[in-house]
Every structure is written in C-alpha cells, then in structure tokens.
A and B are shown apart, each in its own frame.
Chain A
C-alpha cells in the first residue's frame, strides 16, 4: 500500500539530507534522531510531504509520524 508514497517521502528526506543513506534507514527508527533533524528540518519535512501528498500533518500529530513506517501509514490513512 505504501508503494506510491514511499518514493515521495524518501525524495523529501533526500532534499533535507542529501548525504544520508536512506536504503539503510530502519523503518522503525526515529527520523529526527537517525537523520539529526532539528525542528526546522522537521517542519521542512512536513511541508515537503504536504506538497508531495497533499496531507497536512498538524503539529499535534508529529509524534505519529516520527518513523518512516508510521509516517507512511499515517499518510496512507489520511490521503484523500
């Protein structure tokens, strides 16, 4: 189910962290810790995801998109 969203999310992450090796990023790892994202980076991530998928993740839901897997699940659920 995540097949179409995953490349989009990875593209957004790659723009933020061009040097990161996403292939080895565990799906259940905390994105902020694993990729050393600060709040500015994370906001840019949320904005990028919104542009790519149309899903607006409110601040209150940030905890639900903290890993690649939970983020993909969240986007799948909320995509209209």
Chain B
C-alpha cells in the first residue's frame, strides 16, 4: 500500500491543483502510466505513477489545490498483493521526500522488482459505462485547464492538434461565445494564500472562487519563473565562464549527413549541443545533479533540460531523459517531440522534475553573443548557447571566416569552481568538434 503524493516538479513548486483524474478506483496502473493532470504555476502536467498496482482510492477531488507532498491517491502495490507484506524496494523518491526531484520512469526497472501479478479479484471494477467516454477524447492538459476556466464542454470541441487532440486554441475558439470574465478556482491570489488544506476541500470548493479574478496564464508562469530565479539568485553563488567554439567543420559535417538522412531524421545543431553537454558531464560530474538539503548529489545519467519558449510568453525547461545514452538522431527526435509538447502543453511530470543540467539556447535569431544564464535549482549548472555566426577566427597565424558559437557556463560555487567549469566547457568544445562521436 502506498500513497501517491502531489509531486514536486521544481524547486519553486509548493503546491499544485488537481485538474482531472485519469484513473478511477479499481483501475490497474503500471509504472509510468499517466494517472492525473495537475496544474502548477508553470504548466498543466500529465503526472505519471511510480509503481504498478491498483488504484484503491482517490483522496483529492478534482479542482482542489493542495501542497506538495499531500497524498492524492492510495495505490495497492502489485508486489504487496502477491508477495505478502514485505515487498522489496518499495521506497520511491516521490514518497520518501516530497521535495526531492523524482526519477524518470524510463530508468530501467530494478533487478529486484517483482513480476507484476494478476489483478486481485477482490478489487472493485471501474464503472464500465463511464470509462470509455473519458478515453475517447484526446485533450492536452493545458486545454483541460482552459476548458475549465472558460466553462467549455470538451465533448463539443473539435480537435485540431496531433491525432485530433483538442488544444488550448480549440478550447478558446469554442469558448469565444462565452462570457469573458470566467472565474477560475485555480488562480485565487498568490500561491501561499491559495493553498487549502485537504480537509478543507469541500468548503474551499464552494466558497473560495467568488469574486476573484482570473489571472492570465502567462502572468502565472512569469511569477513561477520569478520565484525560481529569485531562489537561485538568493541561494546559488554563481560564477560565469564563456568560450567561443569554431563550428565550421561540424556544421559542414551536419549538412553532409543531413543530405543522406530522411526528413524525419534530420539533425539540428541543438541536438549536437545536447549530446556534447550530456557526454561532457561524464568528465566533470559535479556539473550534473542536484543540490538539496545542503549537499550535492551527482546524477548518474544526464537528463538534459532544454529551455523552450512557450506561446504567450515564458520559458519552461523539460528534460531529454538519458541524453547521454541516446544516439544523436534519438536525441534529435526526442528534442523535436519535447519542444512540440512543451508548446502544446502536454508535458509529463518526469520531464519537468528530472533535469540534471539545463541548456538555454537563444541561438536562432537576433545575433545573441552570450547567454548569461541563471542556474535552475536544484540543478547546479546551466550551459548557454549563443547564435551561430560567421566571424573572423585566427589560427596558426592566419585569419579566416568561421562559423562559431559562444558557449557559456553558469556554475554553482557551492559545488564547483571556475577551474572545473573551464574543463567542462573545454570538454564540450572538444566533443562538438568531433561530431561523428556524438
């Protein structure tokens, strides 16, 4: 038996609102299944469950905002019902410490994990008539939130997203005829004031929303970013380094290889940066991990966060999980998919909670030289990528025009110093100039 808690999806998250349950009591769930949609100040997120088992009870009603660590559901572990009271390795990060970032579900299952038994017979089955209607609609989490805010019935909305999914824009189109001043229970003032204790749920639901204003989504996100960055500036003694990298031959290689790749496998420079950073963390491990409770814990794998600008303003940095284990093309595919989903508002909890280092690339337009990044806690390093531009480059007594990029490192002095940071940037530089090994 385990309680599934409101997860922490970032150092700045103190509470979340349960938008919708995606399971019902009696449902079987597998580790990695999406069981709920929650809304944080940053985004609407599909939340994954951390162990397989049976949903025994849903403890929090839809629409309720609760603090991180609040039990949301009771899950009967598959192991318990089969193997007796003491199943091995039941300690999941999300349960042992609400503040600790959770491990992604793609982590290979532990060798000790027991096989999943047949469902116990005593478990009540979900109401058969209701389950299918919930399954039929493909709706992005952000669209669910907007639908609730605008009072739009999703069943009547035509989806234009991937596979006919209903997107935020679809909901807003459908809601155009509705009253403009929709009242949202989610945006009841600053987070601290808006948190209700679970025991007060009923009272909060009936009374808390009257007379309060809906805050635009972008404003909520901006406030969350400000909170995280204030925390970072307060707690993290930053140092900054930068280095110009000659990418001419790497980009020529990329153009050559892209000619031979099918359109869906074409690689953009961003994927090179992700791979180079991921591999460089193996050489300088103190750049990769989390600083929590006064100590640094290096991460074994590199889950590389990639900062994505979202429509309407703001920034979110979900992770490409295990970027150090993926091929260049796999990283590219994952990145393309992740950016699309970040913009559509269909991120998963593991992607938001797990980054061990972040890349912020402002490279595309505007001719940005250097990104002076702020570390995203509890991470301890951020790699900034400027624009790729053609510039004079001196080498061997000659000056030539080369395509180059300025990489920057924002590091955490509690964990590393400029010397190690310089080695890290040098490793990224070396890896980038040897793209066949990326």
Count of chain B residues with a beta carbon within 8 Å of a chain A beta carbon? 24
Cβ of A46 under 8 Å from chain B: yes
Q: With A18-B170, A43-B336 given, is the CB distance from A56 to B262 under 8 Å?
A: yes
Alpha-carbon separation in the docked complex, A50 to B170 (Å) = 25
- If the complex has contacts A18-B160, A46-B263, A58-B259, are A40 and B336 also in contact, measured as CB distance less than 8 A? yes
> A12-54 toward B: CB 8 Å interface, digit per residue (1/0)?
0011001100000000000000000011100110110010000
Given contacts A19-B169, A43-B268, contact A50 B263 (CB under 8 A): yes
Q: Which residue of B lies closest to A58 (CB)?
A: B259
A59 CA to B167 CA, complexed, in Å: 30
A-B contacts at CB below 8 angstroms, number? 44
Query: What residues on B are CB-neighbors of A59 within 8 Å?
Result: 255, 258-259, 266
Q: B405 within 8 Å of A by Cβ?
A: no
Q: Mark B259-270, 1 if CB is under 8 A from A, else 0.
A: 100111010111
Q: Looking at chain B's contact residues, is the secondary structure mostly helix, strand, loop, or mixed?
A: helix
B125 within 8 A of A: no
Chain B CB within 8 A of A57 CB: yes
- The reply to whether B169 and A44 form a contact with Cβ atoms under 8 Å apart is no
B5 proximal to A (CB < 8 A): no
Measured between beta carbons, the chain A residues less than 8 angstroms from B269 are: 39
CB distance from B368 to the nearest CB of A (A): 13
Determine the chain A residues whose CB is within 8 A of the CB of B168 once the complex forms: 18
Sampled A-B contacts (26; CB under 8 Å): A14-B160, A15-B161, A18-B160, A18-B161, A18-B168, A18-B169, A18-B170, A19-B169, A19-B311, A39-B268, A39-B270, A40-B270, A40-B335, A40-B336, A43-B266, A43-B268, A43-B336, A44-B336, A44-B340, A46-B266, A47-B263, A50-B263, A50-B264, A56-B262, A58-B259, A59-B266
Question: 3 smallest A-B Cβ distances: which pairs?
Answer: A18-B169, A50-B263, A38-B364
Expressed in whole angstroms, the Cα–Cα distance for A40 and B365 within the complex equals: 13
> Complex formed: what's the CA distance from A58 to B263 in Å?
8
Chain A residues with CB under 8 Å of B170's CB are 18
Determine the distance from Cα of A39 to Cα of B271 in the docked complex, in whole angstroms. Answer: 12
Q: B266 contacts which chain A residues (CB < 8 A)?
A: 43, 46, 59
Q: Are B264 and A47 in contact (CB-based, < 8 A)?
A: yes
| Set of chain A residues within 8 Å of B335, measured between Cβ atoms | 40
In the bound complex, what is the Cα–Cα distance between A40 and B259 (angstroms)?
Answer: 17
A53-77 vs B, CB cutoff 8 Å, 1 = contact: the mask equals 0001111100000000000000000
